[in-house]
Chains A and B, each alone.
Chain A
Amino acid sequence: GENVEQHPSTLSVQEGDSAVIKCTYSDSASNYFPWYKQELGKRPQLIIDIRSNVGEKKDQRIAVTLNKTAKHFSLHITETQPEDSAVYFCASSGGYQKVTFGTGTKLQVIP
Protein backbone atom coordinates (compact mmCIF):
# COMPACT_ATOMS: atom_id res chain seq x y z
CA GLY A 1 0.00 0.00 0.00
CA GLU A 2 0.85 3.68 -0.11
CA ASN A 3 3.47 5.04 2.27
CA VAL A 4 3.81 8.76 2.94
CA GLU A 5 6.84 10.17 4.74
CA GLN A 6 6.84 13.70 6.11
CA HIS A 7 9.71 15.88 7.33
CA PRO A 8 10.50 17.56 9.59
CA SER A 9 8.45 16.36 12.54
CA THR A 10 8.88 19.71 14.29
CA LEU A 11 9.71 23.11 12.88
CA SER A 12 10.27 26.43 14.64
CA VAL A 13 10.48 29.67 12.68
CA GLN A 14 10.52 33.33 13.54
CA GLU A 15 7.44 35.31 12.68
CA GLY A 16 7.74 36.61 9.15
CA ASP A 17 10.07 33.85 7.98
CA SER A 18 9.09 31.06 5.60
CA ALA A 19 8.33 27.47 6.53
CA VAL A 20 8.74 24.46 4.25
CA ILE A 21 7.39 20.97 4.91
CA LYS A 22 8.31 18.10 2.63
CA CYS A 23 6.63 14.80 1.86
CA THR A 24 7.39 11.78 -0.27
CA TYR A 25 5.00 9.08 -1.40
CA SER A 26 5.53 5.59 -2.75
CA ASP A 27 2.57 4.75 -4.99
CA SER A 28 3.04 6.09 -8.50
CA ALA A 29 -0.74 5.80 -9.03
CA SER A 30 -1.42 8.51 -6.42
CA ASN A 31 -2.78 11.61 -8.09
CA TYR A 32 -4.29 13.82 -5.40
CA PHE A 33 -2.32 15.50 -2.63
CA PRO A 34 -4.16 17.48 0.06
CA TRP A 35 -2.64 19.32 3.00
CA TYR A 36 -4.43 19.65 6.34
CA LYS A 37 -3.86 21.97 9.30
CA GLN A 38 -4.85 20.75 12.74
CA GLU A 39 -4.88 23.06 15.73
CA LEU A 40 -4.73 21.55 19.19
CA GLY A 41 -7.93 19.71 20.05
CA LYS A 42 -9.60 20.57 16.76
CA ARG A 43 -10.48 18.90 13.50
CA PRO A 44 -8.04 18.65 10.58
CA GLN A 45 -8.90 21.38 8.07
CA LEU A 46 -8.04 21.28 4.40
CA ILE A 47 -5.83 24.26 3.54
CA ILE A 48 -4.70 23.48 0.00
CA ASP A 49 -4.58 20.57 -2.40
CA ILE A 50 -2.92 19.73 -5.70
CA ARG A 51 -3.63 17.21 -8.42
CA SER A 52 -1.05 15.38 -10.46
CA ASN A 53 -1.66 17.35 -13.62
CA VAL A 54 -0.37 20.50 -11.90
CA GLY A 55 3.17 21.23 -10.69
CA GLU A 56 2.43 24.16 -8.39
CA LYS A 57 -0.53 25.84 -6.76
CA LYS A 58 -0.68 28.98 -4.67
CA ASP A 59 -3.25 30.51 -2.35
CA GLN A 60 -2.14 33.76 -0.73
CA ARG A 61 0.72 32.87 1.65
CA ILE A 62 0.47 29.13 1.04
CA ALA A 63 1.88 27.24 -1.93
CA VAL A 64 2.28 23.59 -2.75
CA THR A 65 4.66 22.05 -5.29
CA LEU A 66 4.58 18.56 -6.75
CA ASN A 67 7.34 16.60 -8.47
CA LYS A 68 5.72 13.43 -9.78
CA THR A 69 8.95 12.01 -11.14
CA ALA A 70 10.61 12.16 -7.76
CA LYS A 71 7.34 11.52 -5.87
CA HIS A 72 7.90 14.61 -3.75
CA PHE A 73 5.52 17.33 -2.74
CA SER A 74 6.04 20.28 -0.45
CA LEU A 75 4.11 22.93 1.45
CA HIS A 76 5.49 26.46 1.58
CA ILE A 77 4.18 29.07 3.98
CA THR A 78 5.54 32.58 3.54
CA GLU A 79 5.43 35.51 5.98
CA THR A 80 4.49 33.19 8.82
CA GLN A 81 2.25 34.45 11.59
CA PRO A 82 1.65 33.11 15.12
CA GLU A 83 -1.76 31.79 14.04
CA ASP A 84 0.02 29.50 11.57
CA SER A 85 1.24 27.48 14.57
CA ALA A 86 -0.38 24.04 14.30
CA VAL A 87 0.28 20.50 13.14
CA TYR A 88 0.32 20.11 9.37
CA PHE A 89 -0.38 16.82 7.62
CA CYS A 90 0.35 15.95 4.03
CA ALA A 91 -1.61 13.18 2.36
CA SER A 92 -1.88 11.30 -0.89
CA SER A 93 -4.76 9.59 -2.58
CA GLY A 94 -5.30 7.21 -5.44
CA GLY A 95 -8.26 6.49 -7.64
CA TYR A 96 -10.93 5.48 -5.15
CA GLN A 97 -10.16 8.14 -2.54
CA LYS A 98 -8.50 6.23 0.26
CA VAL A 99 -6.21 8.88 1.73
CA THR A 100 -2.88 8.05 3.36
CA PHE A 101 -1.60 10.69 5.76
CA GLY A 102 1.92 11.65 6.68
CA THR A 103 2.98 11.64 10.32
CA GLY A 104 2.59 15.39 10.75
CA THR A 105 4.79 18.44 11.28
CA LYS A 106 4.37 20.55 14.38
CA LEU A 107 5.01 24.13 13.31
CA GLN A 108 5.75 26.76 15.91
CA VAL A 109 5.91 30.39 14.83
CA ILE A 110 7.79 32.46 17.38
CA PRO A 111 6.56 36.06 17.71
Chain B
Amino acid sequence: QKEVEQNSGPLSVPEGAIASLNCTYSDRGSQSFFWYRQYSGKSPELIMSIYSNGDKEDGRFTAQLNKASQYVSLLIRDSQPSDSATYLCAVNMPPSSASKIIFGSGTRLSIRP
Protein backbone atom coordinates (compact mmCIF):
# COMPACT_ATOMS: atom_id res chain seq x y z
CA GLN B 1 0.00 0.00 0.00
CA LYS B 2 1.32 3.43 -0.94
CA GLU B 3 1.76 5.89 1.90
CA VAL B 4 -0.28 8.59 0.12
CA GLU B 5 -2.69 7.70 -2.66
CA GLN B 6 -4.48 9.86 -5.19
CA ASN B 7 -6.41 9.19 -8.35
CA SER B 8 -4.09 10.22 -11.17
CA GLY B 9 -6.91 11.53 -13.35
CA PRO B 10 -7.17 13.37 -15.59
CA LEU B 11 -10.18 14.97 -13.96
CA SER B 12 -12.09 17.19 -16.37
CA VAL B 13 -14.42 19.81 -14.91
CA PRO B 14 -16.38 22.54 -16.72
CA GLU B 15 -15.49 26.14 -15.97
CA GLY B 16 -17.46 27.49 -13.03
CA ALA B 17 -18.14 24.06 -11.53
CA ILE B 18 -16.74 22.51 -8.34
CA ALA B 19 -13.64 20.32 -8.66
CA SER B 20 -13.25 17.65 -6.00
CA LEU B 21 -9.87 16.04 -5.39
CA ASN B 22 -9.34 13.15 -3.00
CA CYS B 23 -6.47 11.58 -1.13
CA THR B 24 -5.99 8.75 1.36
CA TYR B 25 -2.99 8.08 3.58
CA SER B 26 -1.73 4.99 5.33
CA ASP B 27 -0.30 6.12 8.69
CA ARG B 28 -2.87 6.93 11.38
CA GLY B 29 -0.26 8.86 13.32
CA SER B 30 0.05 11.56 10.63
CA GLN B 31 -0.65 15.05 11.94
CA SER B 32 -0.10 17.49 9.07
CA PHE B 33 -1.71 17.52 5.64
CA PHE B 34 -1.08 19.75 2.65
CA TRP B 35 -2.28 20.40 -0.86
CA TYR B 36 0.11 21.67 -3.51
CA ARG B 37 -0.52 22.80 -7.06
CA GLN B 38 2.07 22.15 -9.75
CA TYR B 39 1.99 23.62 -13.23
CA SER B 40 3.88 21.80 -15.96
CA GLY B 41 7.61 22.53 -15.72
CA LYS B 42 7.25 24.41 -12.42
CA SER B 43 7.85 23.47 -8.80
CA PRO B 44 5.00 22.66 -6.39
CA GLU B 45 3.23 25.61 -4.81
CA LEU B 46 1.47 25.32 -1.45
CA ILE B 47 -2.29 25.94 -1.60
CA MET B 48 -3.63 24.73 1.73
CA SER B 49 -2.54 23.14 4.97
CA ILE B 50 -4.86 21.41 7.42
CA TYR B 51 -4.10 19.94 10.82
CA SER B 52 -7.42 19.10 12.48
CA ASN B 53 -10.58 17.27 11.48
CA GLY B 54 -13.18 19.23 9.58
CA ASP B 55 -13.14 21.88 6.88
CA LYS B 56 -10.77 24.75 6.26
CA GLU B 57 -11.68 27.40 3.72
CA ASP B 58 -9.42 29.86 1.90
CA GLY B 59 -11.04 31.77 -0.92
CA ARG B 60 -12.27 29.33 -3.55
CA PHE B 61 -10.44 26.44 -1.89
CA THR B 62 -11.72 24.18 0.89
CA ALA B 63 -9.64 21.42 2.44
CA GLN B 64 -11.41 18.65 4.33
CA LEU B 65 -9.79 16.22 6.75
CA ASN B 66 -11.19 13.04 8.27
CA LYS B 67 -8.53 11.34 10.39
CA ALA B 68 -10.76 8.41 11.31
CA SER B 69 -11.13 7.53 7.63
CA GLN B 70 -7.56 8.66 6.81
CA TYR B 71 -8.95 10.85 4.08
CA VAL B 72 -8.14 14.35 2.85
CA SER B 73 -9.90 16.25 0.10
CA LEU B 74 -9.69 19.55 -1.72
CA LEU B 75 -12.66 21.36 -3.22
CA ILE B 76 -12.17 24.12 -5.75
CA ARG B 77 -15.27 26.26 -6.26
CA ASP B 78 -15.98 28.32 -9.38
CA SER B 79 -13.21 26.51 -11.27
CA GLN B 80 -11.19 28.63 -13.66
CA PRO B 81 -9.00 27.61 -16.62
CA SER B 82 -6.00 28.79 -14.58
CA ASP B 83 -6.79 26.02 -12.08
CA SER B 84 -5.72 23.44 -14.69
CA ALA B 85 -2.67 21.81 -13.10
CA THR B 86 -1.56 18.75 -11.17
CA TYR B 87 -2.65 18.76 -7.54
CA LEU B 88 -0.44 16.98 -5.04
CA CYS B 89 -1.63 15.72 -1.70
CA ALA B 90 1.14 15.66 0.93
CA VAL B 91 1.28 14.18 4.41
CA ASN B 92 3.89 14.64 7.11
CA MET B 93 4.66 11.15 8.30
CA PRO B 94 5.39 10.27 11.95
CA PRO B 95 7.33 10.69 14.08
CA SER B 96 6.11 14.22 14.58
CA SER B 97 9.55 15.14 15.82
CA ALA B 98 10.91 15.29 12.29
CA SER B 99 9.77 16.47 8.89
CA LYS B 100 9.15 13.75 6.34
CA ILE B 101 6.53 15.00 3.92
CA ILE B 102 5.41 12.30 1.54
CA PHE B 103 3.57 13.18 -1.64
CA GLY B 104 0.93 11.38 -3.58
CA SER B 105 1.43 10.89 -7.29
CA GLY B 106 -0.88 13.81 -8.05
CA THR B 107 -4.21 14.32 -9.82
CA ARG B 108 -4.22 16.12 -13.15
CA LEU B 109 -7.10 18.59 -13.27
CA SER B 110 -8.34 20.09 -16.52
CA ILE B 111 -10.89 22.89 -16.53
CA ARG B 112 -12.75 23.00 -19.83
CA PRO B 113 -14.24 26.32 -21.02
**A and B associate:** no
Residues of chain B having any CB pair with chain A under 8 Å = none
Residues of chain A having any CB pair with chain B under 8 Å = none
